[in-house]
């Protein structure tokens, strides 16, 4: 009788955990500093680590840059100056309406990109690991157009299909996202399954010049080529 009671209690706990549809996930985001071969100094600084947050409720989520990290950082190594400029980013998704709205900053200006959620053909795996004590499963995807290998670890017990930078399409929330084997790595460091406060609003951003995703990427490419012609080595990380 005691064993039966324990099993029933455990089942109720897991069900309650899985049905929690609100919360805040804090991610540590690491971006590798990539330089051409032979140009990296011997005392190359470690990759910078920033913080982002994902707010979610119902079928909506908002992934955003934490304001405390929106500062430029500079490293001077062996006569080489490395400048890290982290722009403000907000990515809103709505699973019910298949809506995705992204606000991105580039060269001091705000841009607004409205789109629909893409159907990503993830390859699911039976491989598992725990992130902050929560069981996660592995999924992979290769984006041939952008030449990116993505590895996601998602929690089936948090069943909102969302994650960093608006990536979705998995049967659970993404708690870790790896792009190109560590080029960019977002890992959940704090998981709060709770009611959102009145200040934690999950809504689509509205500020910025309307632009398409292709137009925004072309603008980045043009600027990068321009700066390279001026003798600088520039790298813009894009998801």
Q: What is the pLDDT of residue 194?
A: 94
User: In what side-by-side order are the strands of the sheet with 109-116?
Assistant: 123-131, 134-143, 148-155, 173-179, 184-192, 22-31, 49-57, 60-65, 89-94, 99-106, 109-116, 209-210
* CA distance linking residue 187 with residue 47, whole number of Å: 14
Stronger pLDDT, 13 or 89, i.e. the higher one: 89
Q: What's the rounded mean pLDDT across residues 101-124?
A: 94
Q: Are 237 and 31 in contact (CB under 8 A)?
A: yes
Q: Are 68 and 53 in contact (CB under 8 A)?
A: no
Q: What's the rounded mean pLDDT across residues 112-118?
A: 94
Q: Is 174 helix (H, G, I), strand (E, B) or coil?
A: strand
Q: What's the rounded mean pLDDT across residues 122-142?
A: 97
**pLDDT band per the 50, 70, 90 thresholds, residue 146:** confident
Residue 37 reports pLDDT greater than 90:
no
Residue 208 reports pLDDT greater than 50:
yes
- Retrieve residue 16's tokens: 């309650």
- By mean pLDDT, which of 94-108, 126-140, 223-237 is the weakest? 223-237
Q: What pTM, to 2 d.p., does this model score?
A: 0.81
Q: What is the pLDDT of residue 38?
A: 58
Most confident among 34-43, 68-77, 145-154, 186-195 (mean pLDDT): 186-195
Angle at 164 between CA 158 and CA 170, to 5 degrees: 45
């Amino acid at each position: 009788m005691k064993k039966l009671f324990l099993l029933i209690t455990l089942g109720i706990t897991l069900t309650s955990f899985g049905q929690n549809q609100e919360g805040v996930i804090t991610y540590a985001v690491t971006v590798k500093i990539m330089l051409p071969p032979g140009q990296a100094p011997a005392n190359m600084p470690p990759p910078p680590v920033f913080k982002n947050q994902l707010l979610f409720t119902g079928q909506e989520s908002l992934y955003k840059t934490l304001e405390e990290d929106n500062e430029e950082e500079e490293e001077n190594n062996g006569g080489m100056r490395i400048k890290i400029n982290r722009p403000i980013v907000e990515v809103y998704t709505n699973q019910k309406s298949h809506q995705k709205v992204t606000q991105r900053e580039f060269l001091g200006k705000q841009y607004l990109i409205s789109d629909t959620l893409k159907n990503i053909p993830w390859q699911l795996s039976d491989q598992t690991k725990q992130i902050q004590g929560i069981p996660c499963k592995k999924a992979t995807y290769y984006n041939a157009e952008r030449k990116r290998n993505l590895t996601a670890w998602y929690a089936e017990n948090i069943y909102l299909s969302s994650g960093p930078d608006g990536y979705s399409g998995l049967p659970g929330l993404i708690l870790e996202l790896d792009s190109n084997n560590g080029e960019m790595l977002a890992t959940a460091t704090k998981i709060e399954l709770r009611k959102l406060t009145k200040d934690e609003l999950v809504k689509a951003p509205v500020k910025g010049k309307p632009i398409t995703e292709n137009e925004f990427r072309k603008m980045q490419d043009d600027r990068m080529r321009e700066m390279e012609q001026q003798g600088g080595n520039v790298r813009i990380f894009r998801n």
